[in-house]
Amino acid sequence: MSSPRSAALATRSTIPPTSHAPDAGPVPGPPVDAGGAGAVTPEQARAKGTKVEGSLARRMMAIAAGWIAVLLLAGGFALDRTLTNLVERNFDDQLEYLLNAMIVTAEIDLDGEVYFNRVLGEPRFLEPNSGLYYQISAPGKEGYPSRSLWDNTLEIRRDADNFDPRFYDSQQFADEPLRIAQRTVILPDSDARWTFAVASARQQLDDQIARIRAILVWSFALLGLGLFALAVLQNWIGLSPLRRVRAAIQDMRSAGANRIDEPLPLEVQPLVEEVNALLAHSERQAEEARTHAGNLAHALKTPLTVLTNAATAHDPKLSDLVCRETKTMQRHVEHHLARARAVGRRASGHSRAEIWPSVESVLRAVTRIYERTRFDLDGNKDAIAAMERQDLDEILGNLIENAAKYGGGSVFVTVDAEPLSPHCVIWIEDDGMGIPEEEWPRIFDRGARLDTGKPGTGLGLAIVRDVAEIYGGTVSLAESEDLGGLLVKLALPRAGGSSGFIESVPST
């Protein structure tokens, strides 16, 4: 593995052993947790109220009812106009038939007046006020009305004086609306323009139209009710999977179920899978909390037992023993607090921490402790990790402090050592004796210490691994080709991309 150290010697940033940088305090560590002071209880959430946007079923029914009404009204109107026009056209065809029969049988006598060469076959023309009438007239000629007109006269339209049939309505008879068909012709042996008119009462036509409209109204009303009932049934069946999901969630509260296993439609299954994933995530978090509480209790049990036995035996070295064991207990507490803090912060997804300033801050703090060690820094000053600054300081503090503690006097840190990697990779190298390759997997175990001659609790690398993995990062070991000691590769998610948060956190 090649190191960027040789290529960056001219531009590297060096922190000398006797640097008198502003006091940055001790190596950054996890703060004391506030104990979840910002948590909201279910009672408080219910007291705040939940904004409801209305019933989904009612929305669907309103949309269905609206569309049914619009389509039925439009369809009913179109069908009404079509049937009404057909009935009126049939009525007009009958009038036109009588009108043509009159024209065919009409002739001019010797006096220039019109007459029929044979009797019309419609007896209603002979019955007074029968509702069917005809009239033949011409300018300057004596009119020829039907006997059914009795003493009335048809008032025909002169604007319809043409050779094509013309149909129109008339209100000239009181209480008897008429439908009139008229046509102007020139008969043989006559130069006059004779107007033939046939009128029929509209009562029969209006009755037919009224019956048709009544049938349409009742038919479309029943069709609308049927369609609405079908929409209700469709809505009930369509939303039944959501009711089943709600019932399954109620069963989880009452019957102790922890999953929704009932098969559901494709449209609802993704929601169920997300709910199951959320439940599994909550279960893992609860299990992690129980596991780490047990781990912490187990870790504190041994130091407390040692202190109790020493105090009971009146050990003359009790004060030194108390200092050592309390420091061990403090590191255990810091370890689990760091994990709990990282787990709580990873859910936000908006964490950003500039790596270069964090490394500089840690190096200034560690330099005050290891004044004879040379610290070199190089790399990308603009690299940003998707994690909290305090957790980044905790990880870097443990790694750089270990490099200074177990190195031979030189530590080199490279920020963003692999620019093409999807993660921001930080290399921390030292010139110490290194660690045998077969011991690399074990060094991250809680309490693991390969050099017992130097003070420590063996929790530093365990904290680094746990916090890095919580944020979706990794920690690996290699041999430094330039310095000859240990090379620690810390890969952290870049800000602005996928953080790769893992669902479960390995328990220690």
pLDDT at 460: 61
Q: Which residue has the higher pLDDT, 397 or 15?
A: 397
**204 has a pLDDT exceeding 80:** yes
User: Rounded CA gap, 429 and 479, in Å?
Assistant: 8
Give strand ranges (E) for 312-383: 353-354, 374-379
What's the token pair of residue 81? 């106009």
Dihedral (C-alpha) 394, 441, 422, 498: value to the nearest 10 degrees? -70
**305 has a pLDDT exceeding 60:** yes
Identify the CATH homologous superfamily for domain 286-493.
Histidine kinase-like ATPase, C-terminal domain (3.30.565.10)
Where, residue-wise, is CATH 3.30.450 in the chain?
A: 66-208
pLDDT at 85: 94
Dihedral (C-alpha) 322, 324, 328, 334: value to the nearest 10 degrees? 90
Which residue(s) pair with 144 in the sheet? 136
Write out pLDDT tens, residues 313-330: 777 777 777 887 787 777
What's the token pair of residue 457? 């609790």
**441 has a pLDDT exceeding 90:** no
**Distance (Å) of CA 473 to CA 17, 356, 413, 494:** 31, 18, 18, 10
pLDDT at 80: 93
Q: In the structure, how many helices (H) and strands (E) does the chain have?
A: 8, 15
**453 has a pLDDT exceeding 60:** no
% of the chain with per-residue pLDDT over 90 = 24
Structure confidence at residue 266 as a pLDDT band (50, 70, 90): confident
Highest mean pLDDT (candidates 65-79, 380-394, 395-409, 430-444): 65-79
**164 has a pLDDT exceeding 50:** yes
Contact 409, 47 (CB under 8 A): no
User: Rounded CA gap, 149 and 198, in Å?
Assistant: 11
**465 has a pLDDT exceeding 60:** yes
User: Rounded CA gap, 408 and 405, in Å?
Assistant: 8
pLDDT at 275: 84
What's the token pair of residue 506? 């390995």
pLDDT at 345: 55
Q: What average pLDDT score do residues 273-299 get? A: 75
pLDDT at 295: 64
Structure confidence at residue 339 as a pLDDT band (50, 70, 90): low
Dihedral (C-alpha) 309, 311, 314, 320: value to the nearest 10 degrees? 100
Radius of gyration for the chain, computed over Cα atoms and rounded to the nearest angstrom: 50
Looking at residue 34, the DSSP 8-state letter turns out to be: -
User: Rounded CA gap, 374 and 277, in Å?
Assistant: 49
**129 has a pLDDT exceeding 50:** yes
The CATH number corresponding to 66-208 among 2.60.40, 2.40.160, 3.30.70, 3.30.450 equals: 3.30.450
Contact 124, 148 (CB under 8 A): yes
User: Rounded CA gap, 49 and 55, in Å?
Assistant: 17
Q: What average pLDDT score do residues 145-168 get? A: 82
Write out pLDDT tens, residues 215-241: 999 999 999 999 999 999 988 888 888
Where, residue-wise, is CATH 3.30.565.10 in the chain?
A: 286-493
User: Rounded CA gap, 365 and 294, in Å?
Assistant: 33
Structure confidence at residue 192 as a pLDDT band (50, 70, 90): confident
Structure confidence at residue 160 as a pLDDT band (50, 70, 90): low
Contact 102, 120 (CB under 8 A): yes
Structure confidence at residue 277 as a pLDDT band (50, 70, 90): confident
Pairing of strands 410-415, 374-379: parallel
The position carrying tokens 């960056």 is 8
pLDDT at 355: 92
Query: Which residues, at least 6 apart from 100, have a Cβ–Cβ distance to it below 8 Å?
Result: none
pLDDT at 461: 76
**53 has a pLDDT exceeding 60:** yes
Q: 9-23, 59-73, 289-303, 487-501: lowest mean pLDDT where?
A: 9-23
Q: What average pLDDT score do residues 383-395 get? A: 87
Buried b (16+ CB within 10 A) or exposed e, 223-262: ebeebeeebeeebeeeeebeebbeebeeeeeeeeeeebee
Nearest residue to 151 via CA among 127, 124, 128: 128
Phi, psi of 258 (to 5 degrees): -120, 5
**Distance (Å) of CA 410 to CA 170, 340, 370, 485:** 116, 33, 10, 10
pLDDT at 298: 63
User: Rounded CA gap, 464 and 438, in Å?
Assistant: 20
Rounded to the nearest integer, the mean pLDDT of the chain is 78
Structure confidence at residue 265 as a pLDDT band (50, 70, 90): confident
User: Rounded CA gap, 178 and 339, in Å?
Assistant: 96
pLDDT at 329: 75
pLDDT at 462: 76
